[in-house]
Amino acid sequence: MANYAEIGNVRKRGLPEPSPTDDEITAALNIADDLINAWCGQDFAKHENSEIIADGIDGDRIVLGVKIIEISELKVNDSPIPLDSVITYAENWIGEIALKDGYRFTRGTGNVAITADTGWENIPSAISEASAHLAAMILNKQLFSGRPEIPELDSERLLDYSRKRVKPSDVRGIIDADPYLVGLLRPYRLKGVKN
């Protein structure tokens, strides 16, 4: 999976000497992208054939919290729904879909199964800028001073960072403390995400 920002964009931001290697910048970008995903409540990378499990709400519309590019299969209570009865709002990045022809998302826990291409065809420029900005902060060791420690980042070496899901509670205050980042990311934050 490609990062949200390019290595060259991070290098333009005044990095410490000696200059970090491409691998170190990539590790910082991995961390930055995970922080952005957690704060916004969504993943911006394109994923093919993602499996999404959702709860039915006894209605004809549902919000999945992930941008849907194209649905290849949809089942409700293990019964396939014809794709010509599914309306995908491709311009809507909250993942809203609807059913027509009398089909409904019947109430249930985990009873809606969707296979779809998800994410963004092209990473929004604000997300790329936020990723490069955060990566530069990490490399300049400005990010975590006086802020909560993130368990996934407690390694002595940046390259030891292992990608794990970063929970929104782990990033409390990190992005909120930087008005520039908040301005970039706020339009892409899903409603109901609590940090």
Backbone angles phi, psi at 116, to 5 degrees: -155, 160
Task: Name the band, by pLDDT with cuts 50, 70 and 90, for residue 1.
Answer: low
Give 62-120 pLDDT, tens digit per residue. Answer: 988 788 888 999 999 999 999 999 998 766 677 889 999 999 999 999 999 999 998 88
Mean pLDDT of the chain: 82
Cβ neighbours, 10 Å, residue 152: 17
In sequence order, what are the residues at sequence separation of 6 or more whose Cβ sits closer than 8 angstroms to the Cβ of residue 146? none
Give 32-57 pLDDT, tens digit per residue. Answer: 998 898 888 888 888 899 899 999 99
Give 108-161 pLDDT, tens digit per residue. Answer: 999 999 999 988 888 999 999 999 999 998 888 755 444 434 444 444 455 455
Q: How far apart are CA 33 and CA 39, in angstroms?
A: 10
In sequence order, what are the residues at sequence separation of 6 or more whose Cβ sits closer than 8 angstroms to the Cβ of residue 156? none
Burial class (CB in 10 A: 0-12, 13-18, 19+), 149: exposed
pTM of the model: 0.71
Helix (H) or strand (E) holding 113, with range, is strand 108-118
What confidence score (pLDDT) does residue 112 get?
95
